[in-house]
Amino acid sequence: MKKIGYLRVSTGEQRPDRQIDGLKGLCSEYFVETLSAVSLKRPVYEKAIGLLGPGDMLVIWDLDRAFRSAKDALNELDLLHKRGVAFTIASLSIDTTTPEGYFVYTIMSGLAEFERRMLSRRTKQGLAAARRRGVRLGRPPKLTDVQLFATHCRIAAKTATPAQIAAEHGMAPWSLTRAINRSLRAARN
């Protein structure tokens, strides 16, 4: 019986170490995917389940690391069971091949989706509250207003092109042009 682990992180900055440590000793091999939970295509997941046959087992550490929604989780479980593949959530010791395990899995799928939706709502509310307080969201600007004004003067005097100045500051020319325009609009207001 093959036991294959599937792990997912949303971004390259996130580390799957917690999941890897949790699956050590439980799986003969594991596959790590780096993409958002809402991505429609999951090539690493497809590869992992493609290696599984009747009598094999797919092992994940946490439910929210594998599926996008409760409906997705239940549909995938049905597809795996039809192929004779067992499915286990290691962090919860849930074996979906038993009626009790399937029942708990169904509830946990709904709870995982609820948690993700609540997190999304709180994030949106927090961002909206920050905007109302005037907090600038996103990456900090590469250039100060003084640097942008000097850059605008250089371009206007034709002593440098936007591409040359952007290269000096390690940014894309369109980002520089957009920042200059934003700065000029703010200065007019």
Task: List helix spans (H) across 34-172.
Answer: 43-50, 70-82, 99-132, 145-156, 162-169
- Using DSSP's 3-state secondary structure scheme, residue 88 falls into strand
- Catalytic residue chosen out of the listed positions 10, 69, 91, 175: 10
- State the Cα–Cα distance between residues 166 and 85, nearest whole angstrom: 54
Q: Please say whether the beta carbons of 180 and 152 come within 8 A.
A: yes
Instruction: Return all residues near 110 (Cβ < 8 A) that are at least 6 apart.
Output: 70
Can you tell me the distance from the alpha carbon of 73 to that of 58, in angstroms, rounded to the nearest whole number?
13
Residue 10: active-site member: yes
Catalytic residues: 10
